[in-house]
Amino acid sequence: MASLSFDLSDKCAMVTGGTSGIGLAIAGALLDAGAKVAVGSRKPEKVAAALEALGEGRPEGSVLSAQLDVGDRASVDSGFAQAAEQFGKLDILVNCAGVNLKKPTIDVEEDEHRFVMDVNYFGPFYASQVFAKQCIKQGAPDGDGGGYSIVNVCSVTSFLALSEVTTYAASKGALLALTRQLAVEWTRAHGIRVNAIAPGFVPADQNRQILKSGDRGRRILECTPMERFGTPEEIAGAVAFLCSPAARFINGECINVDGGFMIHGVSDATPNDQE
């Protein structure tokens, strides 16, 4: 039997939040696997910088940037239409755009809560709808090529409770539930596999201060068997795999990419904690 491929040649992808951090690394990984990639962000300066960075040394036309605000349905419609028109089709959607909020839950304002939910949950919901309609328009996918694929970027907080990030955790828990629901409904109806990843702790603009504040970063590392934070590129590899033909029988799953944080229980104290 022939082995299944990790090659994404002839695939076209949209990566929301693809202009920085994990999203930028995901876009790069998909490009390295042979896909054409559109990256979306609501900030024009980030869009321009990402286009320059991702396009360097790559074939002309392989990277498209689009100003796209996932919290605005009209912006989502416009960005996806632009990508589909330029590439001629879309095969892959990675919902990576996200925001965080660290604040005592009792002090969270309604508009703050709604904003986080708009970006982290409703944004992927809207984007998935638009993507699915484009797939339906294109017709049945090539089954040997892994079919159409959506990958949602969830979080360890989709499973575990952490202090003072209730709104963020609620949005990522909802995104995991959405992943499973769509995997049941859309794979049968439209040939779209839907999976997710749950990144561990990767220092980035939105969480760097949280990881460095107080004792939290040290305690996270103590509960991570690999004893370090992750990198965007390490997260991106899991996404590229899930989008590839090699993962064509994986559906409705969430892969933890966290250095073992999720499986950690009680262990011996580290030497620094011993008297």
**Could you list the active site residues?**
168
Q: Residue 273 burial by CB count (10 A; 0-12/13-18/19+): exposed, middle or buried?
A: exposed
3-state secondary structure of 255: strand
3-state secondary structure 32-79: HCCCEEEEEECCHHHHHHHHHHHHCCCCCCCEEEEECCCCCHHHHHHH
**Sequence-separated (6 or more) residues with CB below 8 Å from residue 177:** none
How far apart, in whole angstroms, are the C-alpha atoms of residue 58 and residue 38? 14
What's the rounded Cα separation, in Å, for the pair 229 and 10? 34
**Residue 171: both structure tokens together:** 């949005």
Q: Is the dihedral of CA 70, 158, 25, 151 positive or negative?
A: negative
Say how many CA atoms lie within 13 Å of 68 toward its Cβ. Answer: 30
The number of CA neighbours under 13 Å toward the Cβ of 154 is 29
Alpha helices (runs of H) in 139-268, residue ranges in sequence order: 166-190, 208-212, 216-222, 232-243
